[in-house]
Amino acid sequence: MKRYVNYLDGIEAPEGLTARLTNLKSERRIRPAYLYRTAGIAAALALAVGLGVLWRHAPADPVADHDGSEHYTPDIGIIVTDDPLLGDPHSDRREGYEILDGEHATYYTLPRLNIADASGLSDTAMDYTLCPLDGYERDLVENDLVSLFGTDRYREHLGIPEDAEISGAVYFTPEGTASGLGLYWTEGDMFRVRYEVLRGYDVPSCPVMISPDDDYGVTEVDGVRVTTLAFENETEVKLFVDGFGYKATIYGEGRDELAARFVRLVLASRAGLDGIE
Amino acid sequence: MSQNSNRLEELIKEHQNALYRAALSVTGNPQDAEDAVQDGYLKYLERRPRVPDGRSARAWLMRVTLNAALDRLRDKKRHPTEELLDVHPAPDPGTGELLEAIGELPPAERAAVHLFYYEGYQTGEIAKILGRRPGTVRSDLSRARERLREKLKGEIEL
């Protein structure tokens, strides 16, 4: 990277910038356009919630499992009730998460997650990685995701755009049983999600081991304990279901919504690695 | 002149080039880089952080400046229209290829690469600056190196 260093060493801040900085007056700060937009979205969302503005929805078709059986039916739309944890699926009161640029979307029932703020933490936070395994790995293929989530509409339910590139790996035991999966996708340059699924959770340094000492936000959803932690630029959500540990690390805007989508999809599909070979 | 004005001028003199280069590396656009640097110093004036020494001040300013730079990219949702190399041409083809390859990295990885290779920060410090965990930063750096090697096909030493 010596070329990179030499190149940048030859660049000086423009003279005009020094004058701009020297004349700065904090009380005359001009808010950039994106703050207005963000504030507008937040205000619109708050207003929608306050007025009980609700979206109608159309129920989705039943989804066939990889073995051909119907195992869950996603309900497209978000249910809002006074219950802070989970909406009543029979309620007519609905709201939706608002996505960027004024677009609205309706999703199936999403839990409201209690997310602990960890932006003040730094290098004291735990460092996770997929467990080292005495097995082998291969690249993730689309059928793995269909098997994992039980639907070929996983993009829709996870909020992954059709043109987003998905990559990842599946980890196997020496006997050939899928033991873990890492899923990674990007949206443009800015948005990234990393999902990790691991069979069992009694492995040392497991990526989804939840330390009782950590000050996580905890939400009980469908009887499952979901823990969440928000760093300044990323949100981490973890849960255990049926002997599998799930962890999602989400970066960029809309993180909380995607965390809720992830939890709902895992719980709705009872996603596991058994269908992955 | 007030003490605060003196302090601001010292910080401008000491760090504006480093901040501008970092913002330029992330945004690839001189105007956006200038705006991000200005945002950084404005936040300093607004928040008056307790930064006991020059290195701490630089890290604090680097953090808010890079956040401002990343916000500008997020607002545009695409690469800047004005290319870095148009304004600051590379001295040789190899440097140009390297810069183009770095420019194709996701912004957060560009930021991590710049802080690691140019500023010389350790991953723990980069994590603090970028508001991420050290493991995430190490993962970003590893992935960035892999992408650069693949892109440059080993023709340029990293």
CA angle B89, B95, B98 (to 5 degrees): 115
Q: How far apart are the C-alpha atoms of B13 and B5, rounded to whole Å?
A: 12
Has residue A73 been placed in a domain? no
The pLDDT value given to residue A203: 44
Name the residue facing B131 among A21, A24, A232 (closest C-beta): A232
Q: Is the CB of A52 inside 8 Å of chain B's CB atoms? A: no
Number of domains making up chain A: 1
Beta-carbon contacts below 8 Å between A and B:
140
Name the residue facing B107 among A3, A18, A189 (closest C-beta): A189
pLDDT higher than threshold 80 for residue A35: no
CB contact (8 A) between residue A188 and residue B78: yes
Q: Which residues of B touch A41 (CB under 8 A)?
A: none
Q: Where are the alpha helices (DSSP H) in chain A?
A: 2-9, 15-22, 33-51, 142-149, 154-158, 255-269
Whether A75 contacts A109, CB under 8 Å: yes
Residue A252, domain extent = 114-269
The pLDDT value given to residue A197: 85
Work out the mean pLDDT of chain A and round it to a whole number.
Answer: 64
> Is there a single domain that holds both residue B66 and residue B114?
no
> Is there a single domain that holds both residue B3 and residue B15?
yes
Which of B89, B116, B144 is a domain's end point? B89
Number of domains making up chain B: 2
The pLDDT value given to residue A65: 34
The pLDDT value given to residue B25: 92
> Is there a single domain that holds both residue B97 and residue B76?
no
The pLDDT value given to residue B118: 93
> Is there a single domain that holds both residue B48 and residue B114?
no
Q: Which residues of A touch B80 (CB under 8 A)?
A: none
pLDDT higher than threshold 60 for residue A96: no
Residue to test with chain A: of B13, B32, B121, B133, most A Cβ within 10 A = B133
Has residue A91 been placed in a domain? no
Q: Is the CB of A67 inside 8 Å of chain B's CB atoms? A: no
Given pLDDT bands bounded at 50, 70 and 90, which one contains residue A74? very low
Q: Specify which residues A218 forms β-bridges with.
A: A227
CATH of the domain at B158: 1.10.10.10
> Is there a single domain that holds both residue B6 and residue B56?
yes
Q: Which residue of A has its CA nearest to B124?
A: A123
The pLDDT value given to residue A6: 92
The pLDDT value given to residue A153: 79
How many percent of chain A have pLDDT more than 70?
55
> Is there a single domain that holds both residue B44 and residue B104?
no
Which of B66, B89, B112 is a domain's end point? B89
> Is there a single domain that holds both residue B52 and residue B116?
no
The pLDDT value given to residue A128: 41
pLDDT higher than threshold 80 for residue A9: yes
Tens of pLDDT, residues B69-124: 887 776 554 454 457 888 888 899 889 889 988 988 888 889 999 999 999 988 87
Please give the residue that has the higher pLDDT: either A266 or A254.
A266
Q: Which residues of B touch A234 (CB under 8 A)?
A: 131-133, 136
- For A71, the 3-state DSSP assignment is strand
Has residue A81 been placed in a domain? no
Residue B63, domain extent = 1-89
Tens of pLDDT, residues B126-158: 887 887 777 788 888 888 888 898 888 766 566
> Is there a single domain that holds both residue B79 and residue B5?
yes
Tens of pLDDT, residues A166-210: 888 888 877 888 888 888 887 665 567 788 888 875 444 445 555
- Secondary structure of chain B as H, E, C letters: CCHHHHHHHHHHHHHHHHHHHHHHHHHCCHHHHHHHHHHHHHHHHHHCCCCCCHHHHHHHHHHHHHHHHHHHHHHHCCCCCCCHHHHCCCCCHHHHHHHHHHHCCCHHHHHHHHHHHHCCCCHHHHHHHHCCCHHHHHHHHHHHHHHHHHHHCCCCCC
Query: How is residue A62 annotated by DSSP?
Result: P
Please give the residue that has the higher pLDDT: either A45 or A186.
A186
Which of B89, B112, B135 is a domain's end point? B89
Nearest-CA distance B54 → chain A (Å): 18
What is the DSSP annotation of A158-210? HT--TT--EEEEEEE-TTS-EEEEEEEEEETTTEEEEEEEEE-S-STT-TT--
CATH of the domain at B51: 1.10.1740.10
Tens of pLDDT, residues B6-19: 778 888 999 999 99
> Is there a single domain that holds both residue B109 and residue B122?
yes
Q: How far apart are the C-alpha atoms of A55 and A167, rounded to whole Å?
A: 33
Q: Is the CB of A5 inside 8 Å of chain B's CB atoms? A: yes
Has residue A218 been placed in a domain? yes
> Is there a single domain that holds both residue B145 and residue B112?
yes
CATH of the domain at A196: 3.40.1000
> Is there a single domain that holds both residue B100 and residue B154?
yes
> Is there a single domain that holds both residue B4 and residue B82?
yes
Q: Is the CB of A6 inside 8 Å of chain B's CB atoms? A: yes
